[in-house]
Amino acid sequence: MHSLKSLHLRIAAAFSDTRFNEEPLQLYQPIAYTLELGGKRLRPVLVLMSCDIFGGDIEKAVYPAMGVEIFHNFTLLHDDIMDNAPLRRGNATVHQKWDTNTAILSGDTMFVIAYQHVAKTDPLLLPQVLDLFNDTARKVCEGQQYDMNFETQQNVSIPDYMMMIRLKTAVLIACSLKLGAILAHAGESDAEKIYELGIELGLAFQLQDDFLDAFGETSKFGKAIGGDIATNKKTFLFLKAFECAKDDTLIKLTNFYFDKEIPADQKTAGILEIYRELKIDELTRVEIEDHHDKAMKILESLQFDPVKTTEMTELMQEMLGRER
């Protein structure tokens, strides 16, 4: 078994050996910039770890794992344009550093490069791998559309929101785990189980992201705190607050969110105060733990040697205790 640290190092080395210095530089420099920002590269590590757990050769999974990470970064690049986000991982977003047209085109190119990497796999497994990747890419786009729809849709429920983050976030984490299983020639039943584990882990991961947007620190989180509040984004916290608020608290919450005359800093501070009053932070943590526990039960049902799952358990904890 490979250690979690060694898998992180293997992915880091793979990206370090990859150069994006082709012409025209205006197209490839933003790609290099995006990938050099790094992040924790959890998705490619999940590919390698799943492959390892199922007894596969991780070296045969490195390129597909890189493809998943490049695709993930492509989605972030375009998401930042749609959200008009100024920061990503503590640095200027591509559309801020260059311009929107450059960000769109560089993102499109990243999508192609992601496919090229995913396609570097065992030819016998390629149809199955591409089916998984295509299905995932489509679902991620569906999730992003639902997310945008929710911005103007008045009646959004928590189940609606959970469906959206399943598509936008969880399916790519699930894809990473199933991809590793496929590359290790795991059985169909086991590949489906680890996919469902990824769904539960992905839901917990996105809920943690929602939580950190409200209660994290910019220096650690890598993004501006309160961004979701400032844009009235219908996160789990937003929806739970409106579900729990009554009487004067509901009136105050509604005013803070929808009175455009209230300064942004005052709005954020006021809503966070209401969140704490309603214990939205605690309720969100309970929801995160629920999905994490479901993921752990699926891992236990696979009946691996406990030695094999130690690193996976550690990675799952790392994902939910992450700062960015």
Over residues 186-198, the mean pLDDT reads 97
Q: What is the mean pLDDT of residues 277-281?
A: 97
Please report the pLDDT score of residue 84 as a whole number.
86
- The domain ranges of the chain are 4-320
Percentage of the chain beyond pLDDT 70 is: 96
Phi, psi of 321 (to 5 degrees): -110, 10
In angstroms, rounded to a whole number, what is the distance separating the alpha carbons of residues 70 and 166?
20
d(CA 134, CA 80): 22
284: enclosing H helix or E strand: helix 280-301
Given a cut of 90, whether residue 143 has pLDDT beyond it is: yes
CB-CB contact of 125 with 135 (8 Å): no
**Nearest alpha-carbon partner for 117 in 130, 136, 135, 128:** 130
**Encoded tokens for 109:** 């190119």
Size of the chain in residues: 324
The pLDDT of residue 324: 37
Q: What is the pLDDT of residues 287-323, one digit of tens each?
A: 999 999 999 999 999 988 888 889 899 999 888 875 4
- CB neighbour list of residue 68: distance below 8 Å, 6 or more residues apart: 43, 44, 47, 114, 118, 133, 172, 175, 176, 179
12-55 pLDDT tens trace = 999 999 888 789 999 999 999 999 987 889 999 999 999 999 99
> What is the per-residue pLDDT for 305?
85
Q: Which of 189 and 230 is assigned the larger pLDDT?
A: 189
Q: What class is the 4-320 domain?
A: mainly alpha
Residue 223 has pLDDT above 60, yes or no: no
pLDDT in tens, 43-100: 999 999 999 999 999 999 999 999 999 999 999 999 999 988 888 888 999 999 999 9
Classify strands 91-92 and 87-88 as parallel, antiparallel or unpaired.
antiparallel
Listed range (125-129, 187-191, 304-308) with the worst mean pLDDT: 304-308
Q: Taking all residues of the chain, what is their mean pLDDT, rounded to a whole number?
A: 93
Helix pair 306-320, 188-215: axis angle to 10 deg = 30
**What is the token pair recorded at 23?**
């012409």
Using N-to-C axis directions, what is the helix angle for 100-118 and 62-83, rounded to 10°? 160
Tokens of 278: 């309603």
- How does pLDDT run across 230-249, given as a tens digit for each residue? 889 999 999 999 999 999 99
- Tell me phi and psi for residue 320, to 5 degrees: -90, -10
- Its pTM stands at 0.93
Residues 143, 203: Cα–Cα separation, whole Å: 13
Q: Assess contact for 256 and 171: CB atoms under 8 A.
A: no
